[in-house]
Structure 1
Amino acid sequence: MNHQNLSSFIWSVADLLRGDYKQSDYGKVVLPFTVLRRLDCVLEPTKAKVLAEFAAKKKAGLNPDPFLLRASGQSFYNTSDLDLRKLIGDQDHISQNLYAYVQAFSPAVRDIFERFSFSAQIDKLAKSGLLYLVTEKFVGIDLHPEAVDNHEMGLAFEELIRKFAELSNETAGEHFTPREVIRLMVNLLFVEDDDVLTKPGVVRTIYDPTAGTGGMLSVAGEHLAALNPQARLTMFGQELNDESYAICKADMLIKGQDVANIVAGNTLSEDGHAHAKFDYMLSNPPFGVEWKKVEKEVRKEYESQGFNGRFGPGLPRVSDGSLLFLLHLLSKMRPAQDGGSRFGIVLNGSPLFTGGAGSGESEIRRYLLENDLVEAIIGLPTDMFYNTGISTYVWIVSNRKPNARKGKVQLIDSSSFWQRMRKSLGSKRKEMTDAHIADVTRLFGLFVEAQLATVLDAEDKEIARHVLVAGDKPPVAPEGGRVKFVPLSRIFPNEALGYRTITIERPLRDDKGNIIVGTKGKTKGKPQADSELRDTENVPLSEAVHTYFRREVLPYAPDAWINEENTKTGYEVPFTRLFYVFEAPRTLGEIDADLAQVTARIKAMIEGLAA
């Protein structure tokens, strides 16, 4: 049975729930029952052996846990003599028996059902008279690994997660990242490592500190499996929301991963993988969410541990904690001498430019760029996520850059790479196609500058698009039409994104216009600064401060000077400005001609009505 048929069958269970459950709540029943049936089938062959081992070790007064794990041959076990098939044989007591059966699982599995609030669903189904019908439906499908292997089961479970996320699209964005965005990020993460990842038996680790339902980890695993079936990706994650955590942990269990690697809790205040390092990392942290709840713990770590902790480079403003997740990922990178790491993180536009020189945000950008850690930043289309329509950006960060990338950062503007969805899901109205993802991946992989050539007809309507890299022949404009060129991929040296903020002082003068000089200490005999005339200028790192000062300031303020003590270095990524292309407005003659045509048309319509 393939995963589409399997997910369709399980989806049919939702028909039983219609009326008693809202559509957005179907997943609260179907997902835990799917997990329960899978585990039920997986443990069936060793059931008798586990029960015998449990009885023997209990009688001997020994801790049965390690013996039961060995007896089951899995990373979990169940000590009840019940199974789902036996449960439907006693219809009158199915509620109590099902609860007891779930409680007999090993602690890691019990935790999944507790986070699902499964006992509450058992009660609700029982009161609605649906518990027996739903349980019977699941008993009717064979989810034994011999019938449905881990890969197929994982795909089926992913399909269910996606469907339920779409049904509850008002909250999906908090826990669910669109699959095409994940595919793009995974492509960018792995594209430079194809040679290594195709070797037999390769093992790599991947981590998501905001794991949600585990979609990023799952897509990364599928991608690597397609690239090299013999490769193994060990998955780690942490998630704050209980239901998302339960789904993620269940998904990892179904895929044969060690569920101990998936931790509950707030990543920023309680790092569930302290001191661990990973090969690859992915994250889609919440956009623009304040971190006031964890401010005490974060500031304590920043002040007491500095660069020995996670937040050494600086702290962003409390109103947006997304850069804290980026710093957290930085702390999880393997040292370059041990193979290094690469990670991708989705951020909104704010981390690119918010905060002037010396601010927490600028200091974080400064740390990233001066340590040559940013490989690329990719601008995504708007309206790509379920809970926001704002512009978003994928940052690819690595401490093992290929030689060609060293000292440089690549910016790719893929904001025009989208097609409209047939049906909007919350704020998500656009999607990237496989061709769009392939184009961005190619530009990143080739590490080249590129242009987007848009062919427009005589009426200025788009008829074709071409991605042009160096050496490509541009398209020919049709008769009466034109070809519009805009930058698509640009490469800059790191220092091009830096600047110095200098403070310009002007002298304080008395009522007669005479300069007032200091009489004591360091300022004795020197002009006093007039705070009302104080100004600042941003000087690119590529230019000498005094050269800029002589050219841009002194001609207009001959009495000005630089307050050297206040000079600060800052970094920003003015993404929109770097890709802006000026288009000359139409001439007045063209506008007048259009107005004359419209006026004549309106006049003709009025005359027609009057006739």
Structure 2
Amino acid sequence: MSNPNLSSFIWSVADLLRGDYKQSEYGKVILPFTVLRRLDCVLEATKPAVLAERALREKAGINPEPFLRRASQQLFFNTSPLDLKKLMGDHDHIGENLRAYLQAFSPEVRDIFESFEFHTQIDKLTKSGLLYLVTEKFANIDLHPDTVSNDEMGTVFEELIRKFAELSNETAGEHFTPREVIRLMVNLLFIEDDQALTKPGVVRSLYDPTAGTGGMLSVADEHLASLNPDARLVMYGQELNPESYAICKADMLIKGQDIANIIFGNTLSADGLLGKHFDYMLSNPPFGVEWKKIEKDIRKEAEQMGFNGRFGPGLPRVSDGSLLFLLHLVSKMRPAVDGGSRFGIVLNGSPLFTGGAGSGESEIRRYMLENDLVEAIIGLPTDMFYNTGISTYVWIVSNRKPAARRGKLQLIDASNFWQKMRKSLGSKRKELSPEHIDEITRLFGQFEEANTDAEGTPVPISRIFKNEDFGYRTITVERPTRDEAGNIVLATKGKAKGKPVPDSSLRDTENVPLSEDVHTYFKREVLPHAPDAWIDSDKTKVGYEIPFNRHFYVFKPPRPLAEIDAELKGVTDRILTLINGLTA
């Protein structure tokens, strides 16, 4: 932790909780108390002015709230004459006084403590006889901005979040994206806009529909501040998990940011920022999570609104909703005529290839590629996330592609860009070093095909394709039914009268690349093997898939047989020597 005094203080509180609380529950007490003490210190200097303003406005019969924000010189306020130090003066009524103090905060701050379910912890601490002791601990630590800056406080709080996520029995990855993955995504997001972002007075919006504890928003804000301290990033987010939502809002509040744009709820079934569009977006939605609980809402929107809603291009299978988040982000893009948008989203391998032509997944890929929205897909190493060891991919999506990228898609294989972690965290055993992040960013920025050398063999790490290279037509190949004498059976009625009756047991399908003429392909690949075959054009479907790994496969010829034989002989000879030694 960046501040060793704060670190030792936090763990001294943990020592108090030991025995009455499990390790995994420490965060439920320490995080909200840390927020409370920080806000307590921030409001200390303006407390008399706020109380005076409240008395004045209430006497005049005027709603005091707007005046109280101005008097507090913050985006929030507290109207109680109490603070944590004053609470120490009444040991016997600490619980009810603490509740009254919390209730006197402005609504957006009360919402944080309600989402933390802090009242439950007050009850539990009271029963354990710990409430006064814990409150006293926090009342005696100085978290005033003059002592601990917003940046320092933000760092301490983020490290606490990480620490408690590790201790928790819950999967840390549900609430937390590794920092180096976020840094990579942020680099890729801003790379072509560095010049624009360094102009004075720049204001940009950033949105995360699966905000978690706010890590993506925080890292993006830090990155922009490093480019241009005068730039301002207005941040928006939505989060489903109440505790993560509370932590996200608390983290932003601690850093002095407006928390009015962080919404609670399920982004897919209840978009909390309806009609809003953003300059930049980042998301790490849950991998492979089914959407059965909200299926009715999703299907209703898709059917009633079509392309005027979020899900016009198609719906993936109910067992994996990650592509729904992709479509949600597309709907949040600022129109290209207004400057457009760019976003990064982490997905597993399934959205690249699951579903044949005409399926929901294929139709979503078709929409993305035919509308030229995908700039690049970066394959990350396995074992990068806390809750899964599977392969993951970062999609960079934009409706304002630079001229050189138009009509094209870049694939970058960064699966070998990793270093081993000193200590594994859940499923996370690997991490990206700053050098790896720089190299991936360079490959993306240069937009060129590139190879690396592996034992004298060039291995591709960056490849560039036309969008249509990923498209194909699935054609249905029919063959005639024949009678016992081997004669073709002809239909006797309907539109097909006089034509051969197809034999369903001989029916087959072929995938023909979009770049190739179907009939040319059919003559070359099918007719030489089945001269009586024909295409049922009514059943032809267009599909898209991105077989990522296939494009980076390098054939390794097997070793010479003589070499393998010699190795086997050596092993056999050693075994025989050992056996002879045992029987001697």
- TM-score class, shorter: over 0.9
Partner of 1:111: 111
Task: Please tell me whether the aligned partners of residues 287 and 322 of structure 1 are also in contact (alpha carbons under 8 angstroms).
Answer: yes
Amino acid at match of 2:183: R
Residue 464 of structure 1 is matched in structure 2 by none
Q: Is the 8 A contact 1:170 1:387 kept in 2?
A: no
Shift of 1:604: 2.3
Residue identity in the other structure for 1:191: I
Query: What value does the CA root-mean-square deviation take over the aligned residues?
Result: 1.5
Q: Is the 8 A contact 2:2 2:155 kept in 1?
A: no
The one-letter amino acid paired with 1:568 is: K
For the pair 1:98 / 2:88, whether they are aligned, the reply is no
Corresponding residue SS for 2:377:
strand
Tell me how far 1:154 sits from its aligned partner: 1.5
Counterpart of 2:473 in structure 1 is 500
The amino acid that maps onto 2:487 is N
- Bigger shift: residues 1-10 or 583-592: 1-10
Counterpart in the other structure of 2:556: 583
* Shift in Å, 1:228: 1.3
Residue 176 (structure 2) aligns with: 176
* Equivalent position of 1:125 in the other structure: 125
1:357 aligns with 2:357: yes
User: Helix, strand or coil for the counterpart of 1:523?
Assistant: coil
Distance 1:576 1:4 in 2: 46
Alignment partner, residue 524 of structure 2: 551
Report if the CA contact (8 A) 1:507-1:529 is conserved. yes
Q: What is the one-letter code of the residue matched to 2:550? A: R
Structure 2 stretches lacking a partner, 5+ long: none
Partner of residue 510, structure 2: 537
Per-residue deviation at 1:576? 1.2
Change (3 A) 1:8 1:572: farther
Correspondence for 1:378 = 378
Larger mean CA deviation between 296-305 and 503-512 belongs to: 503-512
Q: Which runs of 5+ in 1 are unaligned?
A: 455-481
Matched-pair contact (CA < 8 Å) for 2:279–2:341: yes
Q: 1:3: how far off?
A: 4.8
How far is the alpha carbon of 1:76 from its aligned partner?
1.1
- Shift of residue 55 of structure 1? 2.2
1:485 to 450, 458, 477: 458
1:240 aligned residue: 240
1:569 aligned to 2:558? no
Contact 1:206/1:281 (<8 A) preserved = yes
Retained in 1: the 8 A contact 2:355–2:362?
yes
SS at match of 2:347: strand
Question: Partners of 1:421 and 1:123 in 2: how far apart?
Answer: 40
**Paired-residue identity, %:** 78
CA distance in 1, matches of 2:510, 2:355: 15
In the TM superposition, what is the alpha-carbon distance from 1:141 to its structure 2 partner?
2.3
How far has the Cα of 1:157 moved from its partner?
A: 1.2
- Please give the residue correspondences for 1:63-74 in structure 2 after superposition, counting only pairs within 5 Å: 63-74=63-74
Give the partner amino acid of 1:368.
Answer: M
Q: How far off is 1:226 after superposition?
A: 1.3
Contact 1:500 1:539 (C-alpha < 8 Å) held by counterparts: yes
SS at 1:305's partner residue? Answer: helix
Q: How many Å separate the matches in 2 of 1:200 and 1:393? A: 34
- Whether 1:403 aligns to 2:387 is no
Matched position secondary structure for 1:501: strand
Q: Distance in 1 between matches of 2:167 and 2:483?
A: 72
Distance in 1 of aligned mates of 2:307 and 2:552: 35
C-alpha deviation, 1:439, in angstroms: 1.0
- CA distance in 2 between counterparts of 1:337 and 1:525 reads 56
* Equivalent residue letter for 1:398: S
* Partner SS for 2:456: strand
Alignment of 1:294 onto 2:267: no
Q: Please state how far the C-alpha of 1:587 moved relative to its aligned partner.
A: 2.1
Q: What's the TM-score once normalised by structure 2's chain length?
A: 0.97
The CA deviation at 1:137 is 1.9
Change (3 A) 1:291 1:381: same
Give 1:5 deviation, angstroms: 4.9
Aligned amino acid, residue 297 of structure 1: D
Q: Deviations over 1:397-456 (max 9, x none)?
A: 0001111111110111111111222222111111111111111111011111111213xx
What is the letter of the counterpart of residue 528 of structure 2? P
* Match in the other structure for 2:568: 595
TM-score (normalised: structure 1)? 0.93
Q: Secondary structure at the match of 1:573?
A: coil
Which structure 2 residues correspond to residues 367-516 of structure 1 after superposition, within 5 A? 367-454=367-454, 482-516=455-489
Aligned amino acid, residue 128 of structure 2: S
Which digits, 9 at most, give the CA deviation of each residue in 1:556-580, with x for residues without a partner? Answer: 0111111111111110000111111
Residue aligning to 1:323 = 323
Question: Number of paired residues?
Answer: 584
- CA–CA separation in structure 2 for the residues paired with 1:310 and 1:186: 25
How far apart, in 1, do the equivalents of 2:4 and 2:408 lie? 44
